[in-house]
Amino acid sequence: MHTALIEEFERYLDARYSSHHTKRAYMKDVEEFLSHSFGFDIEGVERFESVLFKKGLSSKSINRKLASLSVFFEFLKQKGIVEKNPVKLVDKPKQKKSLPKFLEVDELVGLLESVKDKRDRALLELLYSTGLRVSELVSLNVEDVDFDNLRLKVRRKGGRVMYVPFGRRAGEYLLEYLKGRKTGPLFLNRYNNRISDRMVRKIIKRYALGSIFKDISPHTLRHTRATHLLNSGMDLRLLQRFLGHSSIRATQIYTHLNLKELSDVYDKTHPIVNDE
């Protein structure tokens, strides 16, 4: 019934999208909508949304299909078949925001203590101590490290330059790794070139799977650091500055985490906490 319209829509997509995967996904979603013979109006879109809910699709999947449908209705507007895009007028399912994963203190200790390689230990210690993004870590040079004042010169998103503190413990491992080296990239690969963020991800994943049996990323250490600082009483505004968030909203997610209280005894005896 809609064969000619579908073919024309496919040509519309060909003229605007280069990704075959994207075009195929749009076509599949639109064909699914058309197969139900719903009207090209708000009621039709809502009925389609109801069908998707009954199928048990996640909010994320439903929103993706509605996004495809929105492109289709923009095409119909251009042809004069509809006056408005009804997808923009319907209520869409709210997606649950996934809270960031973090490591408990004992897991963090287990991970760090499993690392015997000097470079890798210095890398993980510094990543946790500073809460840096992996892109920020790999772009560091030796000259960016101020050992006297225990701080790093970090290039943040948008070209901002900030000084970020690090703990004595991380500094000691870093000095041991550098062995007097004064210039060049801070962390090197085996070819003495700047280490890549991809390699850092592999390093962390390997040690985590081998020690605490978890598949984590560099960002997990960033979330871990933020969580531990917040648990220790750091003000949210200070945490925002520490993490380099441009908006407090990005930092507020940590206040919604279901955290276990760190015991006073553990705080007093834990070597990493004492060094910070």
Per the residue annotation, which of 65, 119, 121, 222 is the catalytic one? 222
Q: Are 174 and 126 in contact (CB under 8 A)?
A: yes
Q: Which helix (H) or strand (E) holds 29?
A: helix 20-35
3-class SS of residue 154: strand
Per the residue annotation, which of 157, 160, 237, 256 is the catalytic one? 157
Measure CA 250 to chain center.
11
Is 228 considered catalytic here?
no
Is 270 considered catalytic here?
no
Residue labelled with tokens 């009207």: 39
Is 254 considered catalytic here?
yes
Per the residue annotation, which of 2, 151, 201, 245 is the catalytic one? 245
Distance CA 205, CA 215 (A): 6
Q: Are 103 and 204 in contact (CB under 8 A)?
A: no
Distance CA 25, CA 72 (A): 12
Is 237 considered catalytic here?
no
Per the residue annotation, which of 65, 133, 223, 225 is the catalytic one? 133
Distance CA 234, CA 243 (A): 12
Is 23 considered catalytic here?
no
172-175 own/partner pairs: CB under 8 Å, 24+ apart: 173/118, 173/121, 173/122, 173/125, 173/126, 174/122, 174/125, 174/126, 174/145, 174/147, 175/147
Is 202 considered catalytic here?
no
Q: Please identify every residue annotated as catalytic.
A: 133, 157, 219, 222, 245, 254
